[in-house]
């Protein structure tokens, strides 16, 4: 018996199932992104410090402890020192003592009169950790990527939502990839557990066409 399907109905059902699948995948992918951010915080990073009274740049290195309970930090001479061990960093701040994360123009070091004059990009890369009554730990990320990594990671530590553009992009990319993999599985496409071996290089490249001889 021939069965006729309404293409519009089928399309709408397919889109509905895709939307439901995307919503189910988002919490799992969000947790994956969160762990990646926290791992990056554990690796540590170097940030620039702004002082309205001093012209030369100062730097601060910060990294999260492996148990995600303590931020270790300290002043460093330059950006090229590589990863610094926790025990070599003079100061520390427990995560449970952090009250909130402040970003952009609301940061105290951005509000200083000399800060914006030194670099107009400072508000986009600045964030501050408020702890105790009125104490701040101020940062200026080296670039937008590192800014997103650290603000996401700190928000995750505080139990807040990760809202950076990087997280939105990662979420969309990873969810889309997972959906495509599941669709391949439905089509009985075998996905290998390990990548295929890389073929050996040829003995010569005489088979490659030489475009420089095209108009000779």
pLDDT in tens, 133-167: 789 999 999 999 999 999 999 999 999 999 999 99
What is the pTM (predicted TM-score) of this model?
0.74
pLDDT in tens, 79-91: 666 788 888 888 9
3-state secondary structure of 148: helix
Listed in sequence order, the residues at least 6 apart from 209 whose beta carbon sits closer than 8 Å to its beta carbon are none
Closest CA to 89 of 70, 112, 106: 70
Domains of the chain: 38-167 (2.30.29.30)
Burial of 46 per CB tally in 10 Å (0-12, 13-18, 19+): buried
Query: CA 73, 46, 60, 140 torsion: positive or negative?
Result: negative
Listed in sequence order, the residues at least 6 apart from 198 whose beta carbon sits closer than 8 Å to its beta carbon are none
């Amino acid at each position: 018996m021939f069965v006729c399907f309404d293409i519009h109905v089928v399309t709408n059902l397919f889109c509905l199932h895709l939307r439901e699948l995307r919503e189910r995948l988002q919490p799992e992918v969000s947790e994956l992104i969160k762990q990646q951010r926290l791992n990056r915080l554990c690796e540590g990073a170097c940030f620039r410090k702004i002082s309205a009274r001093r012209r030369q740049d100062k730097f601060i290195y910060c990294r999260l402890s492996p148990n995600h309970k303590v931020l270790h930090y300290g002043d460093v001479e330059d950006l090229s020192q590589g990863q610094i061990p926790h025990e070599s960093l003079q100061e520390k701040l427990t995560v449970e003592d952090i009250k909130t994360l402040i970003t952009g123009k609301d940061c105290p070091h951005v509000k200083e009169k000399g800060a914006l004059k030194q670099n107009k990009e400072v508000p986009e890369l600045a964030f501050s950790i408020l702890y105790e009554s009125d104490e701040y730990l101020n940062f200026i990320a080296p670039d937008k990527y590192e800014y997103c990594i650290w603000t996401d990671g700190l928000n995750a530590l505080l139990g807040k939502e990760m809202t950076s553009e990087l997280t939105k992009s990662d979420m969309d990319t990873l969810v889309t990839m997972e959906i495509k993999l599941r669709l391949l599985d439905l089509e009985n496409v075998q996905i290998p557990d390990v990548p295929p071996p890389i073929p050996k290089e040829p003995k010569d490249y005489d088979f490659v066409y030489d475009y420089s001889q095209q108009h000779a």
